Amino acid sequence: MADLRVAAVQLSSQDDLEKNLSRAVALIAEAGAAGARLIVLPENFAFMGGGDEEKRAIAESLDENPGGPIVRAISEAARVAGAYVVAGGMPERSGDRERPYNTCAVFAPDGTVAARYRKVHLFDVEVGDGQHYRESASTTPGSEPLVLPVLGFQLGLSVCYDLRFPELYRQLVDRGADVIVVPAAFTLATGKDHWHVLLRARAIESQSYVIAAAQWGSHPRGRRTYGKSLIVDPWGDVIAQQGEGEGFVMATLSRSYLDGVRANLPSLRHRRL
């Protein structure tokens, strides 16, 4: 099977939908022109830091044709780039108007929606940065892990806070995942201590590539995010990392290297519990 060139996009999204989408589309185009065939956007790429009512107002359906501004923008960007685009986390309408899903949607190179994963674990915490997070108050949780084939690899989907729940990643591997995406808006307070450790741990225990696209910087309502978008290989080595600011990093995922790690240290086959 062929290797796969991938990109993790880092954004500093604000509460202006049009500007956020314009920046995301521009970076998708740049990554596609540089050869990426799988491009991952961070959580909240289209809207970050506004109030709950604003988030509800921009929630879209992934089933309508034509879709809303978010779906139309990312669909066209994927088509122009000729790449799969993982729309890291966007508000998708649910049966409860007050609580849309936080959905990671995958757009195929023809612009169609290939898959959707609704974030299972919602961020209800106090992390000591002066902010109180109650994602469950405005978000409906999903319930199902999801893996889909993408250009010779099996792609597992997750979003941000999911990273702290290894049982989800074990289920992704059980369903065949060998590449896992983690679009995120990790807080500065938690990111500086846990981001790299958790991502490398998930890669090592899953013996999978991990692509983590992050928000970075300061956002409305006092939110600050850590950034450091990165790509980790199945041995746990960080093979690409974005520094400060917006941009993207790229790496080539090697099928032979992945298979070699799993063959030489067959821990996934040694599981007993």
Amino acid at 137: A
Residue 76 bears catalytic tag: no
Nearest by Cα to 229 from 7, 4, 22: 7
SS3 at position 184: strand
Identify the active-site residue in 55, 60, 119, 135.
119
Identify the active-site residue in 43, 92, 135, 246.
43
Identify the active-site residue in 60, 92, 135, 160.
160
d(CA 246, CA 148): 28
Residue 104 bears catalytic tag: no
Question: Cα-Cα-Cα-Cα dihedral of 98, 67, 115, 240, to 10°?
Answer: -90
Residue labelled with tokens 């790509």? 231
SS3 at position 21: helix
Residue 144 bears catalytic tag: no
CA 196 to the chain's CA centroid: 15
Active site residues: 43, 119, 160
